[in-house]
C-alpha cells in the first residue's frame, strides 16, 4: 500500500499523489518515511524534499513547516515549496550572489543581516534541488 502525500502551502497544493517513499528535511536531519510508518508529527527545516515513486525520484525545495504522518498518509504544511522543474536556477544563482554581497559588505542592521542570511539559505536550497535534478537525469 503506497503513501498518500500532500504538500500544501497557503497559496496552493504543490504536490498530491500516492508515492513509495518520502525523504524530508527534518529540523534535526533528513528522515525517510515508508508505508506503515509509526505516527509522527515533526517540524521541517529548509532543504530538499524528495519523493520516490515507481523507481523515479522527484524533488521539491521546502522552506520549513510541519509534517504529519498517520497511517499511510503524509501531510506537509509549509510556507513555501517549489518543485524542481519550477525553479529558475539562474535567478537562484543571482539571489545567492546578492545575498553574499550584502553579507560581505557588512555594516548591516541585525534585521537586514537576518534577511540576507535567509535569502542566502533559500537560494542555496533552490540550487541544491536543481543540481540534484540535473544529476538524476
pLDDT in tens, 8-22: 999 999 999 999 999
Instruction: State how far the Cα of 118 lies from the Cα of 40, in Å rounded to an integer.
Output: 27
Instruction: State how far the Cα of 100 lies from the Cα of 115, in Å rounded to an integer.
Output: 11
What's the pLDDT tens digit per position in 1-53? 799 999 999 999 999 999 999 999 998 899 999 999 999 999 999 999 999 99
What single-letter DSSP state applies at residue 39?
P
Residue range 88-136 in CATH 1.20.5: yes
Where in the sequence of the chain do the CATH 2.60.15.10 domains occur? 3-84
Beta-carbon contacts of 71 under 8 Å, excluding residues fewer than 6 positions away, are 39
Q: For residue 101, name the pLDDT band (cuts at 50, 70, 90).
A: confident
Tell me, which fold does domain 3-84 have in CATH?
ATP Synthase; domain 1 (2.60.15)
- Among positive and negative, which fits the CA dihedral 29, 35, 38, 40? positive
Where in the sequence of the chain do the CATH 1.20.5 domains occur? 88-136
Amino acid at each position: 500500500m503506497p503513501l498518500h502525500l500532500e504538500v500544501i502551502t497557503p497559496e496552493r497544493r504543490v504536490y498530491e499523489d500516492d508515492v513509495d517513499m518520502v525523504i524530508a528535511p527534518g529540523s534535526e536531519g533528513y528522515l525517510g518515511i515508508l508505508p506503515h510508518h509509526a505516527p509522527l508529527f515533526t517540524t521541517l527545516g529548509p532543504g530538499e524534499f524528495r519523493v520516490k515513486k515507481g523507481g523515479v525520484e522527484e524533488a521539491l525545495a521546502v522552506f520549513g513547516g510541519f509534517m504529519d504522518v498517520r497511517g499511510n498518509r503524509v501531510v506537509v504544511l509549509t510556507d513555501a515549496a517549489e518543485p524542481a522543474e519550477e525553479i529558475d536556477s539562474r535567478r537562484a544563482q543571482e539571489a545567492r550572489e546578492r545575498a553574499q554581497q550584502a553579507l560581505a559588505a557588512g555594516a548591516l542592521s541585525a534585521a537586514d543581516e537576518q534577511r540576507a542570511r535567509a535569502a542566502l539559505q533559500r537560494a542555496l536550497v533552490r540550487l541544491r534541488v536543481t543540481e540534484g535534478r540535473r544529476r538524476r537525469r
